[in-house]
Structure 1
Amino acid sequence: MLYSDGDFKRAKPEESPAQELGRSDFRRDYGRLLHSPSFRRLQGKTQLFPGHESDFFRNRLTHSLEVAQVAKGIALKLNADTECFREFPIDTDLVELAALAHDLGHPPFGHNGERALDDCMKRAGGFEGNAQTLRLLSRIEKKVLDDPSSEADASDLCGISRDGTDRRLGLNLAYRSLAAVLKYDKAIPVQRKASDSLAKGYYSSQSDLVKKIKAHVGKPPAELKTFKTVECQIMDLADDIAYSTYDLEDAMKGGFSHPLAIRTRLGTDKELVERVHAKVQKEIPDATEVEVFRTLQALFDLGSTEGSSSADAATLLAFNHSMLVAGQGNARVGFTSNLVQKFVSSISVKPLSGTALRFSKVSLERSTQLEIEALKHLNYELMIMSPRLKVVEYRGYELVQTIFDALNNDDGHLLLPEDYRQMHGRATSVEGRMRLICDFVAGMTDRYAVEFHSRLKESGASIFKPI
C-alpha cells in the first residue's frame, strides 16, 4: 500500500471541512504551502543571477514552479509505466508540494547566504537549506499553534509561552507531506569546528519530529539503509534536471557562454574537467574523467559542419550555430527543452512489495545520470565560480553575516520585529535565541536583506517604514 492512515496524521489533529470540499489531505497541505509567506518570498531570492539584473532570469519561486511541473510529469510517467502504480498511483499533489517546498529554507543570496549563516551557527546547531525547509513547515510558519499550556497564554499568539514552551506547529502538515521534503536522513551535529564544511541533514533539535515522521510513515527495508520516500526521490531528481538545464539557459541568455565556447573550454582547461569529474564521482563513483569529458562534449555538439568549403568555413558555421542557440529564444529554449525531455524519459522505478512500495527506488539510466551530474557541476564551475558572480557571492556572504552578528550582539535583538523580539525574550537558551535570529535572517529576501543592512550601516530607510 502506498498510503495508509498514519501518513495523514498531524502533530495536532484537525477537524477540517477538507474532505467535504472534495480536497484530499495532500491537496490541503499543497494549498497551505502555496498561500504561505515563505513561499511568496521565494520570488525575491536569487537562483543564479540577482533578481534586479533582469526580469528574464529565474528566481527561487519560478525555479520551484518549474521543478514542480517536472516532478508531476515524472510521477505521471511512473504511474502510467508501472503496473503497481497504476493500481496505487503516486499522489501528484504530494509530489508537487514537495517540489514547491524544496527550496523554501534557502536564505537570501543562495548558497553564499547559506554558508554565512552556517558559519554563524556552527556552535549552535548549524544552518542548512533543507533542514530549514523542514523547520519552516513544521515550526516557523504562522498557521497552527498547539493548545496553550495555561489560560494566561490563551490570547498570546507569538508562539512561545512565558515558560519557554514552543507551541508553534508551522503549517501542521501531514507526516507524509513532511517526509516528502526529508532529503537527508541524518541529524546535523549541534557543534562543529569553524573549519568544517556545510553539513546536510536536519537540525538535531528536530530529531523528535523526524522520529514521529518515521513512526507514522514506516521504515524502509533494511537493504535501502536510508529513509527517502518515492515522492522525495522524484522531487530530488526533478530539481537536478531543472537546475542542470535551466541555469544553463539563463547563463546563455545572460551572455556568459554559448555551446561552442563551452566545448572549447573543456578541450583546453584540464583542471576544469578534473574539478567536474571529482564532483561527479560523489554520485557515480566509477565514472572516469574521460567519460565525463566525452559526455559533456556530446551534450554541446550541435551537429556536423560537413559540406563546408574549408576549415575556416566550418569553424565559422559552428560558431554561428552556437551563437544562434545562445542568442535566439526559440533555439535556446528548444535546446534545454530537448534535454529535459530526454532526461525525464530515462527515469524508471523499481517497485517494492507491500508497505515498502512507498520507498521504491526511482532511478535514471547511468548514461543520463552522468549527463545530469556532469552538466550540473559544469554549470557551477563556469557560472557560479566566474569572476562576475564571485563579486555577488562575496557581497552576499558579508552582508548576511553582518546582519546576524548585529542582531546577536549585546542588545541587537531589540532590532527584531515585535513577534521575534517577544519570542527571543522567552527562549530559554543561548542556542534557542540564536536559532530565532537565524530564522529571521534566513527568511529575508535579497532586497530586504540589503535594505536591512542599509539601516544598520548606512543612511537606511525612514523610521516610519516598519521592519
Structure 2
Amino acid sequence: MKTKKLVTLYRESDFEREIGLPKRDGTGAYVDSRTPFRRDYARLIHSPAFRRLQGKTQLFPGIESDFFRNRLTHSLEVAQIADGIAIQLNTRDKNFSKHHIDTDLVQLAALAHDLGHPPFGHNGEYALDECMRDYGGFEGNAQTLRIVSRLEKRERNDTKSGGLNLTYRSLASLLKYDEPIPLISAQRKDSGKLVKGYYASETELVSTIKGAVCGNKRASDFKVVECQIMDLADDISYSTYDLEDALKAGFLTPLEIIHLAHTPEFLSKVTRKVAKAMDESIEPADVSKVYIEIFGGMVSEKLKDADFHKPVDLVKRISEIYSTSKRLAGDGHLRTAFTSELVKEFMAGISGQFNEKQPALSRVILKQETRLKIEALKHLAYEALIMSPRLKLVEYRGRDIVRGIFEAIDSKERGGHLLLPDDWRESYLSLESDELGRKRLICDFVAGMTDRYAVEFYARLTSVDSGLSFFKPM
C-alpha cells in the first residue's frame, strides 16, 4: 500500500541558504527563535539597498516635493496590499486555509521588488541597458536578485559573497521572469528593447533555487505563489496610487481623462499595451469604457436632468461638472476614498488555484474584467504622464546623467576607475583580465545610486564652477 505524499506549501529545502544554516543549540533547536522568513525580512529592512529606495523616483522626482511617493513608500504600499491578498487567500480559499501562504515572505517579496531600480527609474534602467547591451544587459528585476544574493555586504565565505544570504524560497519570491538575459545584443529578439529576466552570472543560482523549491533545477514557467502576489500588488498600487499622485500634482483631472477616453490616437497607444499585457484581443472601445465607467459618473449625474434647450441651465451644469472634477483632483479626502475603493474592487477580483503536485507554483488568478481595469489605468498614467513634455525633460536629463557617469568611470584612457570609492576600486582592480566583470561592477555601482547622489556625482564631473567641495567624499 502506497503512503499518500504529504502536501505542504513549504519544504525543508526552501529554508536552506547558500552560506550555511542557522545555528542550533544542544537540543537541536534553532538558536534564533524567529522563522527563517522573518529573519530574511529583518535582513532586508536593515540593508543599505532598502534605505536607498527613499532617494529613488517613483513617478515624480523627489526634488519636486516630499509629498509624492518614492520607491520606498511605493514598496511599503505594495507590501500592505500583498499582505492583504495573502490574508484573503488564506481565509477564503479552502486549500490555502490548510496550507497558509506565509505573510512575512509575501511582504519581503513586495518590499524588495524594486531594490534593483537605478536612479531615475525606468529612464536610468534604459540608459544602463544601453551601456551594458553587449555585456549581459541591465534590468531592474535581474539587479534585485543580484543585490540580495551578491552585492549586499551581509555574509560571505572564503569563495564568494552571499549578499543578504536569504533562504532559497525568499530568493524565489523575487524571480519574476524565468529567462536569462542574452550576453550580447545580437542574441536578443529585438536588440532595441530592454529584456526582462536574470543575468547570465546568476544562472547557476537560479538553478539551485529551482531545485530547492520544487526539486527540479530545469523547471519552466517558474513563478512561486508569493511572487505572483507581489506582482499583482505592484500592478494594483501602480494603477491607483500613481494616478492619485498625478491628480494631486494637477497633471490630470477626471474631465481630462474623459476627454482622453474619446481621443483615438491616445486610445490606440494604450490599447496596444493593454492587449500585450493581457495577451488577448482588446478594442479601443473596451479601454474607453473603463475610463468612462470610473470617471464618467460625475458627468452623467450632473447632466441627468439638464434642459439642453436652456443655455443658462446647461452652462450651470457644465460649471458643476468642472467644479466636481477639480474637487477630486484637489480634495485629499475624495482622492483617498477614490483610490481606496479601487484597491478594494481590484482585490475582490483575486482568487487562487492550488497546485497539488507543486504547491509552490500554485496560481493566483485575477478576473479578466478586473485585469482590464488595472491595465487600462496603469497605461493611462504612463501615456498621459511619463510621455508628457514636462516629464520627458526629466527623462532626457536622467538618461544623460546615468550614461555620463558610467562612461566616465569606464574610461581607461582617463583612469575613470579612480573615481570609484576605495572598496569598489579594489574589486575593480582584482578583475584585471575580466572585461565583463569590470563592466558589471561599474553598472552595479551606478545602479545603486540615489537620484540626488547621481546628480551630485555628475555635477562634479561636468560643472566648471559648481562650488561643490572636493573634500566631500564621493
Task: Choose 28-37 or 299-308, whichever is displaced more.
Answer: 299-308
1:191 equivalent among 170, 180, 184: 184
Q: 1:299 offset after TM fit, Å?
A: 1.7
1:206 and 2:210 equivalent? no
Among 7, 11, 15, the alignment partner of 2:18 is 11
Q: Distance in 2 between matches of 1:36 and 1:204?
A: 25
Q: What does residue range 301-312 of structure 1 map to in structure 2 within 5 Å?
A: 301-303=296-298, 304-305=301-302, 306-308=304-306, 310-312=313-315
Partner of 2:107: 96
Please give the residue correspondences for 1:251-290 in structure 2 after superposition, counting only pairs within 5 Å: 251-267=246-262, 269-284=263-278, 285-290=280-285
| 1:366 aligned residue | 368
Correspondence for 1:152: none
Q: CA offsets, 1:7-32, max 9 Å, x none?
A: 00000113347944431000000000
Secondary structure at the counterpart of residue 250 of structure 2: coil
SS in 1 for 2:185: coil
For 1:345-360, list aligned pairs within 5 A. 345-354=348-357, 356-360=358-362
C-alpha contact (below 8 Å) 2:78/2:233 kept by paired residues = yes
Letter in 2 for 1:174: T
2:335 aligns to what? Answer: 332
Question: Which residue of 2 is the match for residue 26 of structure 1?
Answer: 37
SS at match of 2:351: strand
Secondary structure of 2:473's aligned partner: coil
1:313, CA displacement in angstroms? 2.5
Deviation at 1:55, TM superposition (A): 1.2
Structure 2 equivalent of residue 180 of structure 1: 173
Residues 302, 321 of structure 1: 8 Å contact kept: no
C-alpha change, 1:362 and 1:219, in structure 2 (3 Å) is: farther
What is aligned with 2:294?
A: 299
Match of 1:217 among 210, 213, 220: 213
Unaligned stretches of 5+ residues in structure 2 = 1-7, 308-312
Over the aligned positions, Cα root-mean-square deviation in angstroms equals 1.7
Q: Which residue of 1 aligns with 2:379?
A: 377
Structure 1, unmatched stretches of 5+, are: 150-166
Aligned residues: 446
Deviations 1:99-133 (A, max 9, x none): 00000000000000000000000010000000000
Residues 118-137 of structure 1 correspond to what in structure 2 (within 5 A)? 118-137=129-148
* 2:18 aligned partner, one-letter code: A
Cα distance in 2 for partners of 1:239, 1:308 equals 41
* Structure 1 match to 2:423: 419
CA–CA separation in structure 2 for the residues paired with 1:143 and 1:251: 38
Asked whether 1:318 is paired with 2:321, we answer yes
- Between 1:280-289 and 1:207-216, the stretch displaced more is 280-289
1:449 counterpart (445, 454, 463): 454
Task: For residue 51 of structure 1, give the secondary structure of its aligned residue in structure 2.
Answer: coil
Secondary structure class of the residue paired with 1:349: strand
* Equivalent residue, structure 2, for 1:158: none
Q: Comparing 420-429 with 282-291, which one deviates more in the overlay?
A: 282-291
Q: 1:162 is matched with which residue?
A: none
**Counterparts of 1:15 and 1:295 in 2: how far apart (Å)?**
51
Provide the rounded CA distance (Å) in 1 between the counterparts of 2:202 and 2:452. 30
- TM-score, normalization by structure 2: 0.91
So what's the TM-score if we normalise by structure 1? Answer: 0.93
